[in-house]
Amino acid sequence: MSITVVGTIGLDTIETPFGKAENILGGSAAYFALAAAAYQPVNLIAVVGNDLPAHRLDPLRARGIDLAGVEVGDGPNFRWGGAYHLDFNTRDTLFTELGVLATFDPKVPSAYRDTDVLFLANLQPTVQQGVVAQLPQARLRALDTMNFWITSAREDLTRVLGMVDIVFMAEDELRQFAGLSNLRQAAQAVLALGPQVIVIKLGSYGALLIDKAGQYFAAPAFPLDDVRDPTGAGDSFAGGFLGYLAAVLAGGRAPEQADYRRALLHGNLMGAFACEAFGIDRFTTLTPEAVAMRYQQLVAYTHIEAGA
């Protein structure tokens, strides 16, 4: 009855047209966990540097996230710096310092063995494979990836794609992986490798869901009047999506197509929450009421009354 995520805890330096922040808490596992924790208990597996004071993880503890899977490595923490342009659709990576992430070999604590949902955030595909093997009883396994692995570790990525149920890809990554410009055709190429569901992230345009049963579902992004910092939006999206599905499983039934559709809306909601403040800040004050209200708004934004 829980969600386990393996990914990064980072120290991010972010520049936007509206401000700059240095060494703030970030990383794929942090964003995912904070978003998913709005739905179900979350276990977090990651490595941090010996230069990261323990209190820096307090925002995760405050949301009830289990940090027994966080090991302290012998070296500096993973650091990333990025700068966004005015339209927030493109960003430049300023630096990437892997630190202890370079030798990360995740161990799944035995207490996490009863997890329902496993999320493999963007990591080296062989590392993702190792974690799947340690959690054979997970009922839903999902992964995210990035263009770097598509070009540098394509065989390993293809293998781990065959080990999961749900794949998250940004549209450009999907096109690149499949070598096809048409998203529906490219999605079929990924589904043929094993996954039941592919979720295509369209950035500020929302997301698509395509499954092996032939379902096609489109959900728009939740529109924001002010985007402050898109860092972590993709991982927060995955957190909302899988968090919602974990809650369905915790309710005692297997998710159906209608649940996957609602999950896609929750993914869009969490992606938007991530963008509303610098770093993880918006999640530290997120309430169930705010989530429920935005969900109803997003449903209304696409509602069509019956009739032609």
CB of 246 to a second copy, least distance (A): 15
- Nearer of residues 68 and 224 to a second copy, judged by Cβ: 224
- Amino acid occupying residue 232: G
Told to check if 148 binds a second copy by CB under 8 A, we report no
| 227 counts as binding a second copy under rule CB under 8 A | yes
CB of residue 175 to a second copy, shortest distance in Å: 8
The verdict on 265 binding a second copy (CB under 8 A) reads yes
Question: For a second copy, what does the binding mask look like between residues 206 and 225, x meaning CB under 8 A?
Answer: x-x-------xxxxx--xxx
- In the β-sheet with 42-48, what is the strand arrangement from edge to edge? 66-72, 42-48, 3-6, 117-120, 140-144, 166-170, 197-201, 207-211, 216-219
End-to-end CA distance of the chain: 43
Is 88 a binder of a second copy (CB under 8 A)?
yes
Task: For a second copy, give the closer residue by CB, 158 or 204.
Answer: 204
For residue 61, what are the CA distances in angstroms to 30, 34, 141, 149? 11, 10, 24, 31
- Pick from 55, 74, 86, 137 the residue near a second copy by CB under 8 A: 86
- Total binding residues toward a second copy, as defined by CB under 8 A: 38
From the list 103-111, 148-156, 161-169, 258-266, the region that binds a second copy by CB under 8 A is: 258-266
Q: Does 289 bind a second copy (CB under 8 A)?
A: no
Measured from the CB atom, is 79 or 282 closer to a second copy?
A: 282
Is residue 19 a contact residue for a second copy (CB under 8 A)? no
Nearer to a second copy, 103 or 215 (CB): 215
Q: Among residues 113 and 184, whose Cβ is nearest to a second copy?
A: 184
Rule CB under 8 A: is residue 147 a binding residue for a second copy? no
Chosen residue from 95, 155, 253, 303 binding a second copy by CB under 8 A: 303
Q: d(Cα 264, Cα 174) in Å, to the nearest integer?
A: 18
Q: Binding residues for a second copy, per CB under 8 A?
A: 86-88, 175, 181-185, 202, 205-206, 208, 216-220, 223-227, 258, 261-262, 265, 292, 295-296, 299, 301-305, 307-308
